[in-house]
């Protein structure tokens, strides 16, 4: 629940922060502009008031100086006051009240005996006329005194100058010079405005603005909050809940229906979620069906592999009653079922047939073609055909309705057990390997006939050979020399002969197991590319194995 409430809380906090930042920003801008506007207004008032008063007094500039000249300590200042002085004093008071000026006075900037800068008052507007201000010297800040002297000399522009006053605090001052009949400045008319009053005005305005902004933004924020909550937060919560339901009920047929109608991207997201939900469930159903089909296919492949293995001779020793020879064969398919096959069977009591074959392609189609080929070859040999005749007739049979265009390479031999004489035919297959009793394994190379089911006008030739006591015959499919390692290097016939000759044995099973081990070492765990099928026969002759160890 905390997670589901988190978005709404964040939204509320975000709106409050936005409101505060907005109010602060607006307040700062308004304060800056309002203070600037007020300073400009007071500057205009100060210039107008001081200029007007200076012009009025300027006509009697010679008299202005007389009010502060030669004042003695024991003199009653009121004796210097006349009707003109009172007239000007009343005018100053009137201007101060009318224009809201903090203070208006006429004074002369002057240094005292110690060299400190200040002003000598001549007039000073107040609620009560204070004649005792005539001639009073008041200190100024260095900046204020410097500015006053520059105004007297006409060097400073007519405008506001801010400084700290002992009585009124920080003030903004405007001043205009009064000239005598000789054109010399004799005094300045000062108009002071309290910066605190200006700031207070600005603060009051800002407070009102903040209240107005807070009220408006508060109401709008509440409306915005509930709008966003209803159109964003609540729909997202529903989508989150739907996501949880989806992950917990993937095996059900209940498809999510949002019923979200916000008319924006949220609704589009909801529609996309509905589509994803339907497609995901459909995909899961399909995947389950595919898995079931794969399991069924796997089961069928296992059955096919089992049937294929059952078609190959697998009981060893194969002919325990026959002392003249020993035989062993093996097949390791690259897939569940392979296309290679071997066969050996007694044609009669004195003749042994050997078959080593390789069907093009892999998998079930090749395996079916293999089984047909194996049966046809065996039937022809058992019917009394020679190897060449058998291959010729089987070739014609396999070409009928061969829509898959499979073909099969075959090495076929029939050996007279009592004498070791044999006849062999090779239909595009690998060269056999023979080892004489006192020699090494060597390839028996001769011209091949075409593979079965490859051409209908093929001519199949056969040749005679003879095994003597102690000889060994090794036949195989191309999966042996063409086995390759991770570097793409082939095992090859040279390496095959080296393995055979490095571990010569009279036990056919040991010969094949040693070859399989060496091939596995060579490929270094690489995937088996082709079926690996081998057959080895050790011929002992009529006297049997004991005399040929």
- Tally of residues, the chain: 549
Question: If DSSP states are collapsed to H, E and C, what string results for 140-152?
Answer: CCHHHHHHHHHHH
Q: Which of 513, 448, 7 is nearest to 239 (CA)?
A: 7
Q: Which of 541, 484, 543, 476 is nearest to 512 (CA)?
A: 476
Q: Which of 128, 123, 187, 180 is nearest to 152 (CA)?
A: 187
For residue 474, how many C-alpha atoms fall within 13 Å in the half-sphere facing its CB? 26
Task: Provide the CA 273 distance to its chain's centre, in angstroms.
Answer: 21
CA distance 478 to 490: 11
Question: In the chain, how long is the greatest CA-to-CA distance?
Answer: 171
Output b/e per residue, 179-190; b: 16+ Cβ within 10 A.
bbeeeebbbbbb
Angle ∠(501,533,397) on CA atoms, nearest 5: 130
Q: Which of 119, 146, 147, 112 is nearest to 134 (CA)?
A: 119
Q: Are 394 and 380 in contact (CB under 8 A)?
A: yes
Q: Are 398 and 382 in contact (CB under 8 A)?
A: no
Residue with tokens 């309002």: 34
Which residues, including other chains, have CB under 8 Å from residue 437's CB and lie 6 or more apart?
468, 469, 470, 471, 548
User: To which H or E segment does residue 162 belong?
Assistant: strand 161-165
CA distance 512 to 497: 13
pLDDT at 166: 66
357, β-bridge pairs: 341, 410
pLDDT at 2: 46
Q: Are 81 and 123 in contact (CB under 8 A)?
A: no
Kindly tell me the number of DSSP H helices and DSSP E strands found in the chain: 11, 16
352, β-bridge pairs: 346, 415
Output b/e per residue, 106-132; b: 16+ Cβ within 10 A.
bbbbeeeeeeebbbbbbbbbeeebebe
Name the E strands within 51-116.
Answer: 103-111
Task: State the sign of the Cα–Cα–Cα–Cα dihedral 535, 540, 545, 549.
Answer: negative
pLDDT at 414: 98
Q: For residue 269, how many other CB atoms are within 10 A of its CB?
A: 16
Residue with tokens 């595919």: 290
Name the E strands within 112-160.
Answer: 117-124, 137-139
Q: For residue 8, how many other CB atoms are within 10 A of its CB?
A: 16
CA distance 10 to 3: 11
CA distance 305 to 311: 10
CA distance 345 to 348: 9
Task: Provide the CA 471 distance to its chain's centre, in angstroms.
Answer: 68
Phi/psi region, residue 47 (left: phi>0; alpha: psi -120 to 50; beta: rest), is alpha
Q: What is the pLDDT of residues 265-318, one digit of tens each?
A: 776 777 777 777 677 777 777 777 787 777 765 555 566 556 666 678 989 999
CA distance 358 to 494: 21
Q: Domains in the chain and their CATH numbers?
A: 2-201 (3.30.450.20), 249-309 (no CATH), 312-548 (3.60.40.10)
pLDDT at 305: 56
Q: What is the pLDDT of residues 108-163, one digit of tens each?
A: 999 988 889 988 999 888 666 666 678 888 888 888 899 999 998 888 888 888 87
220, β-bridge pairs: none
Query: Would you state the structure tokens that stand for residue 537, as one six-digit string?
Result: 């026969």
pLDDT at 249: 67
Q: Are 437 and 471 in contact (CB under 8 A)?
A: yes
* C-alpha torsion angle, residues 420, 426, 430, 431 (rounded to 10): 50
Helices within 312-426 (DSSP H only): 363-382, 387-399
CA distance 2 to 8: 10
List the chain residues with pLDDT less than 70.
1-9, 11-12, 126-132, 165-168, 242, 244-259, 261-263, 267, 277, 296-310, 335-338, 528-529, 546-549
């Amino acid at each position: 629940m905390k997670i589901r409430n988190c978005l709404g809380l964040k939204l509320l906090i975000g709106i409050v922060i936005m409101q505060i930042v907005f109010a602060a920003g607006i307040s700062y801008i308004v304060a800056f502009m309002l203070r600037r506007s007020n300073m400009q207004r007071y500057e205009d008032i100060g210039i107008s008031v001081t200029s007007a008063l200076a012009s009025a007094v300027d006509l009697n500039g010679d008299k202005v100086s007389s009010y502060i000249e030669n004042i003695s300590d024991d003199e009653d200042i009121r004796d210097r006051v006349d009707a003109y002085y009172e007239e000007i004093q009343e005018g100053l008071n009137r201007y101060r009240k009318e224009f809201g000026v903090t203070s208006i006075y006429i004074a002369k900037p002057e240094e005292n005996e110690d060299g400190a800068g200040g002003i000598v008052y001549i007039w000073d507007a107040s609620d009560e006329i204070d004649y005792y201000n005539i001639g009073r010297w008041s200190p100024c800040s260095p900046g204020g005194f410097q500015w006053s002297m520059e105004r007297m000399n006409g060097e400073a522009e007519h405008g506001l100058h801010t400084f700290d006053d002992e009585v009124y605090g920080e003030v903004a001052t405007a001043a205009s010079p009064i000239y005598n009949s000789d054109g010399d400045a004799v005094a300045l008319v000062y108009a002071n405005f309290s910066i605190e009053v200006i700031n207070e005005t600005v603060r009051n305005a800002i407070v009102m603005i903040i209240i107005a902004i807070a009220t408006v933004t508060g109401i709008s924020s509440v409306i915005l909050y509930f709008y966003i909550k209803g159109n964003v937060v609540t729909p997202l919560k529903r989508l989150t809940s739907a996501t949880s339901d989806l992950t917990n009920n993937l095996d059900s047929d209940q498809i999510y229906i949002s019923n979200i109608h916000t008319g924006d991207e949220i609704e589009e997201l909801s529609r996309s979620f509905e589509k994803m939900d339907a497609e995901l469930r459909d995909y899961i159903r399909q995947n389950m069906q595919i898995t079931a089909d794969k399991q069924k296919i796997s089961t069928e492949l296992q059955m096919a592999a089992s049937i294929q293995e059952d078609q190959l001779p697998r009981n060893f020793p194969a002919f325990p009653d026959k002392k003249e020879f020993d035989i062993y064969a093996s097949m390791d398919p690259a897939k569940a079922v392979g296309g290679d096959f071997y066969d050996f069977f007694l044609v009669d009591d004195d003749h042994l047939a050997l078959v080593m074959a390789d069907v093009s392609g892999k998998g079930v189609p090749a395996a079916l073609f293999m089984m047909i080929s194996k049966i046809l070859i065996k039937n022809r040999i058992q019917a009394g055909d020679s190897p060449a005749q058998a291959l010729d007739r089987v070739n014609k049979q396999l070409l009928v309705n061969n829509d898959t265009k499979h073909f099969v390479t075959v090495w076929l031999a029939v050996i007279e057990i009592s004498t070791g004489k044999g006849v062999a035919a090779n239909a595009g297959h690998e060269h056999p390997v023979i080892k004489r009793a006192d020699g090494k394994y060597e390839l028996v190379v001769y011209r091949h006939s075409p593979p079965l089911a490859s051409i209908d006008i093929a001519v199949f030739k056969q040749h005679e050979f003879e095994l003597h006591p102690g000889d060994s015959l090794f036949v195989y499919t191309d999966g042996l020399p063409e086995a390759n390692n991770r570097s793409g290097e082939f095992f090859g016939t040279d390496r095959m002969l080296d393995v055979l000759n490095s571990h010569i044995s009279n036990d056919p099973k040991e010969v094949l197991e040693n070859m399989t081990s060496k091939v596995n070492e060579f490929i270094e765990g690489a995937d088996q590319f082709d079926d690996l099928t081998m057959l080895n026969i050790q011929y002992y002759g009529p006297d049997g194995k004991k005399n040929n160890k």
